[in-house]
């Protein structure tokens, strides 16, 4: 009998005896098989697959095979790292039942992105508070609300949360929530098919709340900006609520039309910073609870310290670990985490560390890192030290006390003073601007 058919039939028999999830993840993806006399050879993408399959259904698998064909005496696994394995179609972990009332369904809102699922920390408390205020009281002076912050820090989550909360309070609200790119595409299509009237109506007359994500995409796109400007004005003047997110501050988007920029600045602008360690830990705890993953404090700390800035990555790491642990039945230890998260963490390493910044700053000024950490006050050390503190704050968003500790246990006030001083130097002192420029380019940061 043909190897492939033999294998599929054997899997068919085995299927009823293993959980759907295990079957989807471990067995179904294996499709490359061949017979070598009395041995069935099965290719697996990773040695770990082989171990897992052998441990969990080794005998059963052979038994099923022999039911189909008695000629088969054994199974051999062969690791083929180039083997393409389809990702499981279902999420790896069942979602726990929602504890709170499920949000009203709105086709454009992600049901998981509610305030209840959002962890508030120092890095996002203002953005969170502003979003809540807008959703609950819709104060005029908070209109528009402009949220900006780096990738994966929770902008889209908060934007959706506003939508959910407004719907909870006023179920009839007409909420339009979309990516700016969607707006752009729709506009292009409407222009092409001569349906601008409809387009305008949708955004201006049939909308009480406009939630527009990733507005930075409109930079440089004049026609779209113009249309957006009119949409914005129409809504604004009739007192409709507008919330916008962007990965940049309005002032840092030079390709944005001035009138649009000043509209954005007329409301309230809040930023989301990279989460500090406590917030990362809290997010991990919350997600672990939601996903029913048992996470020890050591492992949580390990993940939180390794994943520096991006909440999406933090979440991804946890889910991956949880999936692994639940499938393999092992406990999540720090060693396991190191192993499983290797790829993610390798990527993170490219991110700046205080050590790296200090090394580069020290090299630039031809001093030693130990001089930066020392208490020596003469200018040839103090100036590089202050610059390094400033840069670390800017690049890594560590807290002032954390930065102080990296510099040999300096007081947080010293760091605050350094950052303040550098900021004012950068305003007027060309020399300082040049130093900073050179150091940034040594760090691989584009001007």
Which C-beta is closer to ligand ADP: that of 88 or that of 152? 152
Residue with Cβ nearer Mg ion (155 or 165): 155
Given a contact cutoff of 8 angstroms between Cβ atoms, the answer to whether 236 and 210 are in contact is no
77 touches, from Mg ion, ligand ADP, none (C-beta below 5 to 8 Å by class): none
- Work out what residue 376 binds among Mg ion, ligand ADP, none; the CB cut-off runs from 5 to 8 Å by kind: none
Number of residues that bind ligand ADP (CB under 6 A): 17
**Per DSSP, what are the bridge partners of residue 117?**
none
- Shortest approach of ligand ADP to residue 219 CB, angstroms? 17
Residue nearest to Mg ion (CB): 156
Residues in 86-125 that interact with ligand ADP by CB under 6 A: 113, 117-119, 124
Told to check if 155 binds ligand ADP by CB under 6 A, we report yes
Minimum separation from the CB atom of position 115 to ligand ADP (A): 10
Question: Which does residue 317 bind out of ligand ADP, Mg ion, none, counting CB within 5 to 8 angstroms by kind?
Answer: none
Contact of residue 391 among Mg ion, ligand ADP, none (CB under 5-8 Å per partner type): none
- 384 makes contact with ligand ADP (CB under 6 A): no
Residue 32 interacting entry, from ligand ADP, Mg ion, none, C-beta within 5 to 8 Å by type: none
Q: Which is nearer to ligand ADP, 285 or 405 (CB)?
A: 285
Q: Is 28 in the site for ligand ADP (CB under 6 A)?
A: no
308 binds ligand ADP (CB under 6 A): no
Q: Which residue ranges make up the site for Mg ion (CB under 5 A)?
A: 155-156
Q: How near is the Cβ of 341 to ligand ADP at its closest, in Å?
A: 17
Q: Which long-range contacts (CB under 8 A, 24 or more apart) does 61-68 make?
A: 61/10, 61/14, 64/10, 64/11, 64/13, 64/14, 65/6, 65/7, 65/10, 65/40, 67/10, 67/13, 68/1, 68/6, 68/9, 68/10, 68/13
Beta carbons within 10 angstroms of residue 99's beta carbon: 9
When the beta carbons of 118 and 236 are compared against Mg ion, the nearer one is 118
Per CB under 6 A, 283 contacts ligand ADP: yes
What residues from 312 to 351 belong to the interface with ligand ADP (CB under 6 A)?
312, 315
Query: Taking the complex as a whole, how short is the minimal distance between the CB of residue 132 and ligand ADP, in angstroms?
Result: 13
| 119, interface contact from ligand ADP, Mg ion, none, CB < 5-8 Å by kind | ligand ADP
| Least Å from the CB of residue 151 to Mg ion | 7
CB of 304 vs ligand ADP, minimal distance in Å:
13
Q: Choose the contact partner of 153 out of ligand ADP, Mg ion, none; CB within 5 to 8 A by kind.
A: ligand ADP
Return the residue of 1, 38, 151, 351 that touches ligand ADP, per CB under 6 A.
151
Q: Is 181 in the site for ligand ADP (CB under 6 A)?
A: no
With CA atoms as reference, report the closest residue to 299 among 352, 341, 247: 341
Measured between alpha carbons, how far is residue 307 from residues 55, 338, 340, 341 in Å?
Answer: 32, 12, 13, 10
With contacts defined by CB under 6 A, name the span among 8-16, 149-157, 191-199, 300-308 that binds ligand ADP.
149-157
Q: How far is the CB of 188 from Mg ion (least distance, A)?
A: 22
| Chain residues that interact with ligand ADP, rule: CB under 6 A | 113, 117-119, 124, 149, 151-157, 283, 311-312, 315
């Amino acid at each position: 009998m043909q190897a492939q058919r033999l294998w599929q039939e054997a899997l068919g028999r085995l299927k009823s005896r293993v959980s759907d999830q295990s079957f989807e993840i471990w067995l179904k993806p294996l499709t490359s098989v061949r017979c070598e006399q009395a041995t069935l050879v099965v290719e697996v993408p990773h040695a770990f697959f082989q171990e897992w399959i052998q441990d969990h259904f080794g005998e059963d698998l052979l038994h099923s095979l022999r039911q189909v064909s008695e000629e088969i005496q054994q199974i051999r696994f062969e690791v083929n790292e180039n083997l393409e394995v389809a990702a499981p179609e279902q999420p790896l972990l069942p979602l726990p039942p929602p504890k709170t009332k499920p949000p009203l369904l709105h086709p454009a809102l992600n049901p998981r992105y509610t305030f209840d699922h959002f962890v508030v920390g120092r890095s996002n408390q203002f953005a969170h508070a502003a979003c809540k205020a807008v959703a609950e009281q819709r104060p005029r002076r908070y209109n528009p609300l402009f949220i900006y912050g780096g990738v994966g820090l929770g902008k889209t989550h908060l934007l959706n949360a506003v939508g959910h909360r407004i719907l909870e309070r006023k179920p009839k609200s007409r909420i339009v929530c979309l990516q700016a790119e969607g707006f752009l595409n729709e506009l292009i299509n409407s222009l092409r098919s001569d349906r601008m009237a409809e387009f305008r109506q949708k955004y201006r007359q049939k909308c009480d709340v406009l939630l527009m994500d990733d507005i930075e995409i409109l930079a440089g796109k004049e026609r779209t900006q113009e249309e957006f400007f009119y949409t914005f004005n129409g809504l604004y003047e009739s007192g409709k609520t507008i919330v916008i997110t962007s990965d940049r501050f309005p002032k840092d988007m030079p390709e944005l039309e001035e009138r649009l920029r000043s509209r954005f600045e007329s409301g309230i602008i809040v930023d989301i910073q990279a989460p500090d360690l406590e917030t990362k830990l809290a997010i991990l705890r919350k997600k672990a609870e939601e996903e029913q993953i048992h996470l020890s404090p050591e492992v949580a700390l390990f993940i939180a310290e390794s994943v520096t800035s991006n909440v999406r990555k933090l979440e991804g790491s946890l889910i991956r670990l949880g999936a692994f642990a639940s499938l393999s039945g092992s406990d999540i230890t720090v060693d396991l985490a190191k192993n499983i998260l290797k790829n993610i963490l390798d990527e993170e390493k490219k991110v700046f560390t205080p050590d790296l910044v200090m090394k580069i700053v020290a090299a630039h000024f031809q001093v030693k890192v130990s001089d930066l950490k020392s208490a020596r006050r003469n200018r040839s050390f103090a100036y590089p030290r202050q610059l390094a503190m400033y840069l670390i704050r800017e690049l890594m968003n560590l807290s002032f006390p954390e930065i102080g500790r990296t510099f040999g246990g300096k007081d947080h006030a010293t760091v605050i003073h350094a950052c303040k001083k550098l900021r004012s130097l950068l305003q007027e002192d060309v020399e300082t601007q040049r130093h900073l420029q050179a150091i940034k380019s040594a760090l691989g940061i584009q001007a």
